[in-house]
């Protein structure tokens, strides 16, 4: 199967590839070492229109689609996964909920800055006791007059503490319906009293990506900050996650590709026992397997993206793409590190950063096990009752 690209899509891919090689890659090591997200790089992505790619022109977007977004994310991830996830989360988790579920007033207030890359927003779903089991949400929001009063905590929230972070959308229990939790989504602007962005995490990888825990202690926001229909917050966020898995799969494909490119280049110049490593069959076979993983992962995410953009069901295909691409990134990072030998253990080399960064691709936006569960359900297999 081949996924054909239009001339415009090829131009976008090439433009972002050049930006990744000329702007993103040179700063990646220092950004990783200092755990600093370059706001200049973020601004550059905004000026290129990357944050507005999958949104209509009438709301300030570029008139593209998720396929276009995936092309951009893949190319960025070759050079620096932290930058790629900043774009992915900024679009899929920050702006998309406002576009899909927001009122006209909410779109008018927030979308312009988000799509221009002048502002970022977080996606507050995960909690200390509610990760893959997001239905176990404990954060609460109760109405007091015309205000929501929010209490609880969120964790692992990307783009929540940058200088241009404007708000987070959070899922919270807003009541009960037939004995089950009623979960809604509420916009909480930065600067709201009682809303605290806690110190950044000390992470294994994605060092230049902004990630914080959040806490809410009687944080009050207007009743109009409800995003979407009351009681439909969890369902809305599941839809957001399905789309986000396509983008994460594109990111993982880029990471796998970056590892392959670095390993091929290194194997051609690394002399071992009098000849280039690339001339040895064992290295050739390793690189061939790495190429096969990149090819398979790219087909998977592009197929899922085309389905989504055509308005067709894509939930299972997105899970397959996330599963295949996440494993490809981790496997290629391991093999590339082995090709590099001792140098692969040095952080100045991109494969070392990919090795640390890629593991989260098997965890974030749905673990490998969650993807397998989604795929199994599509086969008509039922979960065993407790």
* Among 327, 365, 369, 383, the one annotated catalytic: 365
**Are residues 23 and 41 in contact, defined by beta-carbon separation less than 8 angstroms?**
yes
Q: Is 348 a catalytic residue?
A: no
Quote the tokens at residue 226: 């409800």
Structure tokens belonging to residue 319: 């899970």
Q: Are 119 and 46 in contact (CB under 8 A)?
A: no
Angle at 106 between CA 105 and CA 110, to 5 degrees: 120
Structure tokens at 270: 């690394």
Residue with tokens 């207007």: 222
CB 159 within 8 A of CB 122: yes
Residues 69, 281: Cα–Cα separation, whole Å: 37
Query: Residue 65 CB: number of other CB atoms within 10 A?
Result: 17
First to last CA, the chain: 41
Residues known to be catalytic: 365
């Amino acid at each position: 199967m081949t996924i054909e690209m239009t001339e415009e899509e090829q131009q976008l891919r090439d433009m972002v590839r050049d930006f990744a090689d000329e702007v993103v890659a040179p700063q990646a090591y220092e950004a990783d070492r200092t755990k600093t997200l370059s706001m200049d790089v973020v601004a550059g992505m905004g000026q290129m229109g990357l944050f507005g790619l999958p949104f209509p022109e009438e709301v300030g977007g570029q008139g593209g689609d998720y396929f276009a977004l995936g092309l951009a994310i893949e190319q960025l991830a070759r050079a620096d996964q932290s930058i790629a996830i900043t774009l992915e989360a900024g679009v899929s988790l920050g702006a998309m909920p406002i576009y899909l579920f927001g009122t006209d007033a909410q779109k008018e207030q927030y979308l312009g800055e988000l799509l221009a890359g002048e502002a970022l927003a977080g996606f507050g779903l995960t909690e200390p006791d509610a990760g893959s089991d997001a239905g176990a949400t404990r954060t609460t929001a109760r109405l007091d007059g015309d205000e929501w009063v929010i209490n609880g905590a969120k964790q692992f929230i990307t783009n929540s503490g940058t200088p241009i972070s404007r708000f987070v959308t959070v899922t919270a229990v807003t009541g009960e319906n037939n004995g089950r939790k009623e979960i809604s989504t509420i916009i909480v602007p930065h600067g709201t009293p009682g809303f605290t962005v806690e110190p950044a995490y000390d992470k294994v990888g994605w060092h230049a990506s902004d990630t914080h825990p959040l806490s809410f202690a009687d944080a009050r926001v207007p009743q109009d900050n409800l995003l979407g229909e009351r009681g439909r917050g969890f369902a809305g966020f599941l839809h957001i996650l399905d789309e986000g898995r396509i983008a994460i799969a594109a990111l993982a494909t880029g990471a796998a590709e970056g590892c392959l490119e670095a390993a091929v280049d290194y194997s051609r110049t690394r002399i071992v026992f009098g000849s280039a490593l690339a001339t040895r069959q064992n290295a050739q076979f390793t690189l061939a397997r790495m190429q096969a993983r990149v090819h398979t992962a790219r087909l998977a995410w592009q197929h899922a993206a085309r389905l989504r953009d055509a308005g067709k069901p894509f939930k299972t295909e997105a899970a397959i793409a996330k599963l295949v691409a996440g494993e490809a990134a981790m496997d290629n990072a391991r093999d590339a590190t082995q090709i590099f030998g001792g140098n692969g253990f040095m952080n100045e080399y991109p494969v070392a950063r990919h090795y640390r960064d890629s593991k989260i691709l098997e965890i974030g936006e749905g673990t490998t096990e969650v993807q397998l569960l989604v795929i199994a359900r599509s086969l008509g297999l039922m979960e065993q009752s407790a």
